[in-house]
């Protein structure tokens, strides 16, 4: 059964026809063409599909699409503003924290939610925030470095802005 | 990708509507809150209801507040909210810790306390895809009539694998359950049954609406210990909840010890009144309690871990629970 | 735009006069710097297009029906009902593709879909293409397969004992059809040398199977166009071999087959041979005329497997009283699973790859790979040698213990050294192992820790070597192993066409660094087009740590041809000598007078004017005199070997058996770090993966041959909270033949994690963990057993701790 559903993704609100048994991930990837969110485990075990719902990281692969109605959905494609990259994306690039890059979108969404809530997270807070996102390439070391670097960059930015 | 079966997704906003939907589609309907347990299970074709009734949008199921000497938590509150809410952290830090120990951040953002209480039992022969279960020849809990854990067994022994019920039981919590007939209240201790197929006294047209935790008296302390292979993501291999009250003379006034993740029902360790009440928490008392738990707990091969080790860990973690309670008086109710 | 504006745009980001003067003083401008990857931003913005991100017009989705039996004869398959289902476009079975394939040409024993016999739970039997996944799934249920269930052999020793139930037909009549490969080699007289040793340590080790667990599941899309040309997009790390096998199995002209490898979400060896889905999408597209996609479920990834072989290893190591190794005798049984895969090579590797970094006076090994009715094992990162490396390094630790020699010291005493040959006659050139040991020792504060930490805490050391590519291609030929083609635009932009597979290791970036280094263009002037068999010259694939060494050399070869022309053309215009002209930082300039310069694009234009369109090819092939002449002597020989030493520090909870690996110091000789960021990433990722195998991973099966845990919930890979702190210590031995001296970094550093952790557990609590994984129950049991022996007075209390009270309570 195709259901007309209104979704707000990365600031764009639109009505889409979605089979009613689709997850948010299937909707994003196969209906809206937003393929940045990845599918790794099928069922909520790896975190590659992490997106933000009203700022909170959730697993799109086990979220019935209807649960996203009325929320602000942010995917990796919406992390950066029109003015360039998010500090996390820049930091990730500088630190070589994306190898195969497949867990990267999920990692970044978790990290972005952390930084939005806590501009100066400790090492342990970063580890905890990323503990639902499995990475198989890096051993996580460079990812921590990237998040720490982005946090510093974010702080400098706020200082410059006099906040 | 593993696919879901076709269904109609209902999103009621009131409890009455939700109950009416359950009644209307009786036999072909399930309620869904966070979906973190149900959706993977549906992907495995363990449940294939034609209708899903979503509970997160039901107003009556939300809120965390103190009321009449109790902490009242709406069943649709997320585990993140339970783990981080100032009231929970202040009144029942052990409950907050248990919620924080569940799975990982995203699951806690989606999953609810009501869902955790109603979590389906788990078994290595059950939480598998349809293909896998078909290749196995299915099992007692779903689609078959053989138990692969207890050969020849006729009773399902899938494991209760939730983290918040043991500590809620130890704390003497009750839950409110609504149905078309009205609201009933059930002490959580009486809620679970030893039947792994459906291990709760919850009719299919009923909804858990609230969790109520009574305030402990002065001197009450509680702690939850979770044993798991990885420090995140995993369900418990063993869960140990301990609540006790010491009197002014530091002797035990009351004690409650719950061991979970072994069988279908969390085990309330019996006979502790005799062992511990009125005695100070000296190492010999602790050891007697630990051994009592060991005697009463017999894990099965329902999870992927050696049962001899799992059983041996029972007294180890009971001792550690006592150590934590004595070391951190604030780990408490 | 006016010429001046062009010039301004081109030089905005180029080096300043001062920087140019500094550049002249440096050996390298790009190599060795901590630079970005070429694909980093595409990946971190979600714009990189992986295979499952591709949707083609009219694309069908296919699913594969899999055997529910571990071993069964297929009596009949009836697809009538499936074909009748609305939305189904085609169904194929084994008889539609009756040509055997296999990555090793001598052991082709698989079919795209089973013919006659299914050999493990999950073996593919039929495939359906339909309008969507749901319809394809529904159609699978409508395929009627009649099986005759055969006895399933799940244990290799059992399979050896039951030749009357052959999993494959014996190669020779009367042979044992369950033996996949048997290798026996001896160098020197190991038996005699064992007898002559002052100390002999014997041990039995078991390495449990593990799997790659790339986060991206396998995915492939096939499309045969109206003209008959077939394109397959696939998450593969061997496009060239896939290209050949597709053509051969599907009986197509290889020139009309194209394989494209999109960005790939991790591989680790798990995507290094053809799989059923690639043949199925191709065949289904040939039948339907439409693009067809298959995406594995995670469960199917576990069935596809090709992971680490379980190995049972019996080792005897003899040494003199100074700890020098006189003899090693190894007997190994490899559990191969249902098919050969790379098994012929694995069997050799299990013996051939452990003859460095220690000198051995004599060495004998006998390895037997056995078929079992389980998913097929193959190459996982550190192919074939991770398992024996565990055995040999723990053996060495035991010898050190017996002789009361410090474990690092005993490794020094057995140093093989540089520019030498191993006991099995492999040529070894650069060797930084001594420096690796020293760095790991220093950084970890080893001498303050070894045997000095309190009970429950300990440190351990281990050190391996690994190949930088294998000396021969998988199918015999004398053509280059790797090649690169460069094309220069008038703008200064340089395109690199390379067959190499970027699998996350950074091979595209590596090529860009080389081009930027040689031709002086800014990094973002370099475009990499890799792994598309229609467009790129052949590279054999991303396996055996060959890409940096081989493709890097090929790229230097190509770039220097262009560089020569550019320098000559510029020199001519200045009336200078070509060797005076330097290319760096966006300029061509006079190395003796940096004020004399022009934007690099102008230099290219001069060269194009003089020589015609600028382009070049370069290639690399291995030297052929670097191994012994005995049968099998080529397998495992490499143009260069990397060396590593790890120190691991652990804390063991003696009551529970939980092992917390607190830190791993990774000292790795990579020859030269072309970009230290990427090298560290490989070192850390490798050490992490070894740690994971040591502590938690187990690719195991239930009694019926059903996979124990085909999900990322139950097959445990470490989360961020489980992974130890890691410190990378790069050692640069500057290899004489590597590109700028570089060797491999992506596999060697996996090996020592496991024995270093095992040795650290021994230092912590006095128990030898000779079987993997070192799970809490296993460690707990070992500690309990030791406690009982201590109590009985058979052993002294470890590190003077009190004997365990009430063992087993």
Q: What is the pLDDT of residues B76-132, one digit of tens each?
A: 999 999 999 999 999 999 999 999 999 999 999 999 999 999 999 999 999 999 999
Distances in whole angstroms, Cα of residue C193 to Cα of each of C198, C202, C564, C638: 10, 14, 56, 28
B105 vs A22, A67, A129: nearest CB: A129
Query: pLDDT, tens digit, for every residue of B138-175?
Result: 999 999 999 999 999 999 999 999 999 999 999 999 99
Closest chain B CA to residue A43? B40
The answer to whether the CB atoms of A39 and B231 lie below 8 A apart is no
What span, in angstroms and rounded, lies between the C-alpha atoms of C207 and C453? 28
Q: Are C772 and C693 contacting, i.e. CB atoms less than 8 angstroms apart?
A: yes
What's the pLDDT at C802? 47
B105 vs A42, A44, A132: nearest CB: A132
Token pair in block for residue C710: 């085909």
**Has residue C198 got a pLDDT over 50?**
yes
User: How close A99 comes to chain B (CA, Å)?
Assistant: 23
Region C581-609: what's the mean pLDDT?
A: 96
Region C261-290: what's the mean pLDDT?
A: 98
* Chain A residues 54-83 with CB within 8 Å of chain C: 75-77, 79-80
**Has residue C134 got a pLDDT over 70?**
yes
User: How close B82 comes to chain C (CA, Å)?
Assistant: 22
What's the pLDDT at C57? 97
**Has residue C34 got a pLDDT over 60?**
yes
Residue of B51, B104, B119, B233 to mutate, interface with A, max A Cβ within 10 Å: B104
Q: Are C541 and C533 contacting, i.e. CB atoms less than 8 angstroms apart?
A: no
* Exposure string for A54-92, b = 16+ CB within 10 A, e = fewer: eebbbbbbbbbbbbbbebbbbbbbbbbeeeebbbbbbbb
**Has residue C364 got a pLDDT over 90?**
yes
Q: What is the DSSP string of C237-289?
A: S-HHHHHHHHHHHHT--GGGEEEE----S--TTTTSS--HHHHHHHHHHHHHS
Chain B contact for A57 (CB, 8 A cutoff)? yes
Burial category of B68 from C-beta neighbours within 10 Å (exposed 0-12, middle 13-18, buried 19 and up): exposed
**Has residue C374 got a pLDDT over 70?**
yes
Give me chain C's average pLDDT, please.
96
The answer to whether the CB atoms of C684 and A46 lie below 8 A apart is no
Chain C contact for B134 (CB, 8 A cutoff)? yes
User: How close C699 comes to chain B (CA, Å)?
Assistant: 12
User: What DSSP element (H or E) covers B325?
Assistant: helix B307-327
What span, in angstroms and rounded, lies between the C-alpha atoms of B209 and B198? 19
**Has residue B329 got a pLDDT over 70?**
no
C215 vs A46, A130, A141: nearest CB: A46
Residues of chain B found within 8 Å of residue A53, distances taken between Cβ atoms: 109
Closest chain B CA to residue C134? B3
A102 vs C216, C297, C675: nearest CB: C216
**Has residue C806 got a pLDDT over 80?**
no
Region C26-54: what's the mean pLDDT?
A: 97
Residues of chain C found within 8 Å of residue B104, distances taken between Cβ atoms: 719
The answer to whether the CB atoms of A102 and C268 lie below 8 A apart is no
**Residues ≥6 apart with Cβ < 8 Å to B281:** B246, B250, B252, B322, B326
The answer to whether the CB atoms of B54 and A67 lie below 8 A apart is yes
C721 vs A48, A127, A138: nearest CB: A127
* Exposure string for C635-645, b = 16+ CB within 10 A, e = fewer: bbbbbbbbbbb
Task: Give residue C804's pLDDT band: very low, low, confident or very high (50, 70, 90).
Answer: very low
Burial category of B218 from C-beta neighbours within 10 Å (exposed 0-12, middle 13-18, buried 19 and up): exposed
Residue of B106, B128, B135, B323 to mutate, interface with C, max C Cβ within 10 Å: B135
User: How close A160 comes to chain B (CA, Å)?
Assistant: 32
How many beta-carbon pairs below 8 A join chains B and C? Answer: 77
φ/ψ of C105, rounded to 5, equals: -60, -25
Crossing angle of helices C676-695 and C753-765, rounded to 10°: 50
**Has residue C808 got a pLDDT over 70?**
no
Rg (alpha carbons) of chain C, rounded to whole number: 28
Q: Are C41 and A85 contacting, i.e. CB atoms less than 8 angstroms apart?
A: yes
Chain B contact for C18 (CB, 8 A cutoff)? no
How many beta-carbon pairs below 8 A join chains A and B? Answer: 88
The answer to whether the CB atoms of C134 and B3 lie below 8 A apart is yes
* Chain A residues 96-115 with CB within 8 Å of chain C: 96-105, 108
Q: Are A128 and C721 contacting, i.e. CB atoms less than 8 angstroms apart?
A: yes
Q: What is the predicted ipTM?
A: 0.97
Distances in whole angstroms, Cα of residue C320 to Cα of each of A72, C196, C314, C414: 71, 8, 20, 11
Crossing angle of helices C676-695 and A141-160, rounded to 10°: 130
User: How close A161 comes to chain B (CA, Å)?
Assistant: 31
Task: Give residue C809's pLDDT band: very low, low, confident or very high (50, 70, 90).
Answer: very low
The answer to whether the CB atoms of C721 and B231 lie below 8 A apart is yes
Which segments of C383-541 does DSSP mark as H helices, in order? 386-403, 407-413, 433-444, 446-449, 507-519
What's the pLDDT at C75? 98
What's the pLDDT at B154? 93
What's the pLDDT at B216? 80
Closest chain A CA to residue B2? A42
Q: Which residue has the higher pLDDT, B19 or B215?
A: B19
Q: Are C630 and C567 contacting, i.e. CB atoms less than 8 angstroms apart?
A: no
Taking the alpha carbons of C124, C127, C132, C134 in that order, is the dihedral positive or negative?
Answer: negative
**Has residue A83 got a pLDDT over 90?**
no
Q: Where are the beta strands (DSSP E) in chain B?
A: 8-10, 29-32, 51-54, 64-67, 70-74, 174-179, 182-187, 207-214, 220-227, 238-246, 252-260, 267-268
What span, in angstroms and rounded, lies between the C-alpha atoms of C681 and C685? 6
Residue of B52, B105, B111, B234 to mutate, interface with A, max A Cβ within 10 Å: B105
What span, in angstroms and rounded, lies between the C-alpha atoms of C565 and C571? 10
Query: pLDDT, tens digit, for every residue of B262-308?
Result: 999 999 999 999 999 999 999 999 999 999 999 999 999 999 999 99
Residues of chain B found within 8 Å of residue C719, distances taken between Cβ atoms: 104, 230-233
Chains that touch B (3 or more CB pairs under 8 A): A, C
Residue C323 Ramachandran class (φ > 0 left, ψ -120 to 50 alpha, else beta): left
Residues of chain C found within 8 Å of residue B229, distances taken between Cβ atoms: 696, 716, 775-776
What span, in angstroms and rounded, lies between the C-alpha atoms of B226 and B241? 9
The answer to whether the CB atoms of C713 and B234 lie below 8 A apart is yes
What's the pLDDT at A161? 66
Closest chain B CA to residue C658? B229
**Has residue C506 got a pLDDT over 90?**
yes
The answer to whether the CB atoms of A128 and C712 lie below 8 A apart is no
According to DSSP, the residues that pair with B241 across neighbouring strands are: B224, B258
Residues of chain A found within 8 Å of residue B231, distances taken between Cβ atoms: 131
The answer to whether the CB atoms of C776 and B309 lie below 8 A apart is yes
Instruction: Report the percent of chain C where pLDDT is more than 90.
Output: 95
The answer to whether the CB atoms of C53 and A39 lie below 8 A apart is no
Region C658-671: what's the mean pLDDT?
A: 98
Chain B contact for C696 (CB, 8 A cutoff)? yes
**Has residue C803 got a pLDDT over 60?**
no
**Has residue B332 got a pLDDT over 80?**
no
What span, in angstroms and rounded, lies between the C-alpha atoms of C657 and C651? 10
Residue linked to tokens 């699409």? A65
User: How close A149 comes to chain C (CA, Å)?
Assistant: 15
Task: Give residue C372's pLDDT band: very low, low, confident or very high (50, 70, 90).
Answer: very high
């Amino acid at each position: 059964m195709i259901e007309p559903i209104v979704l707000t993704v990365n600031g764009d609100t639109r009505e889409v026809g979605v089979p009613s048994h689709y997850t948010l991930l299937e909707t994003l990837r196969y209906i809206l063409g937003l393929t940045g969110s990845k599918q790794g485990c099928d069922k909520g075990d790896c975190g590659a599909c992490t997106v933000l719902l009203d700022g909170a990281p959730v697993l799109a692969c086990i979220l019935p699409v209807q649960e996203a109605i009325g929320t602000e959905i942010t995917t990796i494609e919406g992390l950066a503003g029109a003015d360039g990259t998010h500090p996390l994306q820049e930091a990730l690039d500088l630190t070589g924290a994306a190898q195969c890059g497949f867990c990267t979108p999920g990692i970044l969404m978790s990290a972005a939610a952390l930084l939005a809530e806590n501009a100066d997270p400790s090492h342990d807070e970063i580890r905890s925030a990323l503990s639902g996102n499995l990475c198989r390439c890096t051993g996580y070391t460079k990812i921590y470095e990237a998040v720490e670097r982005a946090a510093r960059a974010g702080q400098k930015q706020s200082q410059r802005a006099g906040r | 990708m593993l696919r879901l079966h076709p269904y109609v997704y209902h999103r009621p906003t009131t409890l009455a509507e939700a109950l009416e939907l359950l009644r209307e589609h009786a036999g072909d309907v399930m309620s869904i809150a966070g979906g973190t347990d149900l959706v993977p299970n549906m992907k495995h074709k363990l449940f294939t209801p034609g209708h899903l009734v979503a509970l997160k949008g039901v107003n009556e199921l939300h809120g965390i507040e103190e009321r009449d000497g109790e902490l009242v938590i709406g069943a649709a509150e997320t585990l993140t909210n339970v783990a981080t809410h100032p009231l929970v952290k202040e009144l029942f830090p052990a409950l907050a810790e248990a919620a924080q120990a569940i799975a990982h951040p995203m699951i806690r953002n989606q999953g609810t306390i009501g869902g955790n209480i109603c979590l389906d039992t788990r078994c290595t022969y059950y939480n598998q895809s349809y293909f896998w279960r078909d290749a196995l020849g299915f099992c007692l809990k779903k689609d078959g009539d053989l138990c692969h854990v207890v050969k020849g067994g006729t009773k399902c022994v899938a494991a209760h694998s939730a983290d918040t019920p043991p500590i809620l039981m130890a704390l003497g919590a009750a839950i409110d359950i609504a149905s078309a007939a009205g609201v009933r209240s059930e002490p959580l201790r009486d809620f679970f049954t030893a039947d792994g197929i459906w291990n709760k006294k919850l009719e299919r047209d009923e909804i858990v609406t609230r969790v109520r935790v009574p305030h402990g008296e002065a001197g009450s302390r509680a702690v939850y210990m979770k044993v798991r292979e990885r420090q995140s993501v995993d369900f418990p291999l063993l869960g140990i909840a301990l609540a006790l009250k010491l009197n002014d003379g530091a002797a035990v006034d009351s004690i409650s010890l719950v061991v979970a993740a072994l069988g279908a029902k969390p085990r309330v360790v019996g006979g502790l009144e005799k062992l511990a009440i009125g005695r100070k928490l000296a190492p010999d008392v602790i050891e007697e309690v630990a051994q009592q738990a060991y005697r009463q707990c017999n894990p099965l091969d329902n999870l992927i871990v050696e049962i001899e080790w799992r059983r041996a860990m029972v007294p180890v973690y009971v001792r550690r629970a006592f150590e934590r309670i004595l070391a951190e008086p604030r780990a408490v109710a | 735009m006016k010429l001046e504006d062009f010039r301004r745009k081109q030089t905005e980001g180029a080096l300043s006069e001062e920087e140019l003067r500094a550049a002249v003083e440096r050996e390298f401008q790009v190599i060795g710097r901590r630079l970005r990857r070429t694909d980093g931003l595409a990946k971190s913005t979600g714009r990189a297009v992986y295979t499952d991100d591709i949707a083609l017009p009219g694309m069908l989705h296919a699913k594969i029906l899999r055997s529910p039996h571990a071993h069964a004869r297929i009596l009949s398959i009836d697809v009538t009902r499936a074909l009748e289902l609305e939305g189904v476009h085609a169904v194929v079975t084994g008889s539609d593709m009756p040509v055997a394939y296999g990555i090793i040409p001598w052991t082709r024993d698989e079919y795209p879909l089973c013919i006659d016999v299914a050999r493990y739970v999950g073996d593919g039997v039929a495939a359906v293409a339909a309008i969507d996944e749901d319809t394809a799934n529904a159609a699978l249920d409508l395929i009627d397969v009649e099986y005759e269930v055969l006895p399933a052999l799940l244990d290799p020793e059992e399979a050896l004992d039951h030749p009357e139930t052959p999993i494959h037909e014996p190669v020779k009549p009367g042979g044992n059809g369950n033996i996949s490969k048997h290798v026996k080699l001896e160098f020197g007289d190991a038996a005699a040398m064992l007898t002559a040793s002052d100390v002999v340590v014997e041990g039995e080790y078991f390495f449990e199977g593990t799997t790659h667990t790339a986060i991206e599941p396998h995915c492939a899309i096939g499309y045969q166009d109206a003209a008959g040309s077939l394109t397959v997009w696939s998450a593969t790390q061997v496009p060239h071999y896939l290209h050949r096998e597709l053509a051969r199995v599907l009986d197509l002209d290889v020139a009309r087959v194209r394989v494209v490898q999109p960005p790939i979400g991790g591989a680790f060896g798990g995507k290094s041979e053809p799989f059923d889905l690639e043949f199925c999408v191709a065949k289904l597209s040939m039948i339907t005329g439409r693009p067809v996609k298959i995406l594995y479920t995670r469960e199917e990834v576990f069935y596809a497997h090709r992971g680490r072989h379980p190995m049972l290893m019996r080792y005897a190591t003899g040494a003199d009283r100074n700890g020098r190794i006189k003899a090693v005798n190894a007997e190994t049984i490899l559990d191969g699973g249902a098919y050969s895969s790379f098994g012929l090579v694995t069997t050799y590797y299990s013996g051939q790859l452990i003859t460095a970094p220690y000198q051995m006076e004599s060495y004998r090994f006998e390895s037997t790979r056995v078929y079992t009715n389980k998913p097929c094992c193959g190459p996982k990162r550190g192919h074939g040698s991770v398992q024996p490396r565990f055995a040999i390094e723990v053996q060495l630790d035991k010898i050190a213990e017996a002789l009361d020699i410090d474990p690092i010291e005993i490794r020094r005493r057995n140093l093989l050294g540089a520019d030498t040959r191993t006991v099995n006659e492999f040529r070894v050139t650069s060797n930084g192992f001594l420096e690796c040991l020293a760095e790991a020792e220093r950084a970890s504060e080893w001498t303050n820790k070894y045997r000095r930490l309190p009970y429950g805490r300990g440190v351990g050391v281990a050190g391996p070597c690994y190949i930088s590519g294998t000396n021969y291609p998988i199918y015999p030929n004398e053509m280059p192993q790797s090649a690169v083609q460069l094309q220069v635009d008038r703008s200064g932009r340089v395109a690199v066409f390379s067959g190499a597979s970027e699998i996350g290791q950074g091979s595209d970036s590596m090529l860009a660094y080389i081009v930027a280094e040689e031709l002086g263009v800014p990094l973002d002037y370099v475009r990499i087009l890799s792994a598309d068999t229609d467009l790129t010259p052949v590279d054999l694939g991303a396996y055996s740590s060959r890409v940096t060494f081989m493709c890097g050399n090929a790229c230097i070869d190509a770039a220097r041809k262009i560089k020569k022309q550019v320098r000559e053309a510029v020199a001519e215009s200045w009336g200078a000598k070509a060797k005076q002209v330097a290319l760096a930082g966006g300029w061509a300039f006079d190395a003796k007078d940096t004020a004399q310069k022009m934007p690099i694009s102008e230099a290219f234009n001069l060269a194009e004017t003089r020589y015609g369109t600028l382009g070049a090819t370069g290639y690399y092939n291995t030297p052929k005199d670097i191994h012994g002449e005995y049968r099998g002597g080529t397998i495992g020989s490499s143009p260069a070997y990397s060396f590593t030493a790890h120190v691991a520090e652990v804390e063991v909870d003696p009551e529970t058996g939980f092992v917390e690996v607190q830190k791993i110091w990774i000292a790795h000789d990579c020859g030269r770090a072309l970009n230290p960021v990427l090298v560290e990433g490989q070192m850390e990722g490798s050490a992490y993966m070894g740690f994971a195998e040591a502590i938690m991973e187990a690719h195991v099966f239930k009694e019926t041959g059903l996979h124990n845990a085909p999900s990322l919930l139950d097959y445990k890979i470490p989360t961020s909270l489980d992974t130890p702190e890691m410190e990378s210590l790069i050692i640069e031995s500057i290899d004489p033949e590597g590109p700028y001296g570089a060797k491999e970094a992506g596999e060697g550093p996996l090996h020592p994690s496991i024995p270093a952790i095992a040795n650290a557990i021994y230092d912590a609590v006095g128990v030898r963990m000779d079987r993997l994984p070192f799970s809490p129950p296993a460690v707990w049991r070992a500690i309990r057993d030791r406690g009982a022996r201590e109590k009985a007075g058979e052993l002294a209390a470890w590190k003077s701790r009190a004997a365990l009270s009430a063992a087993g309570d």
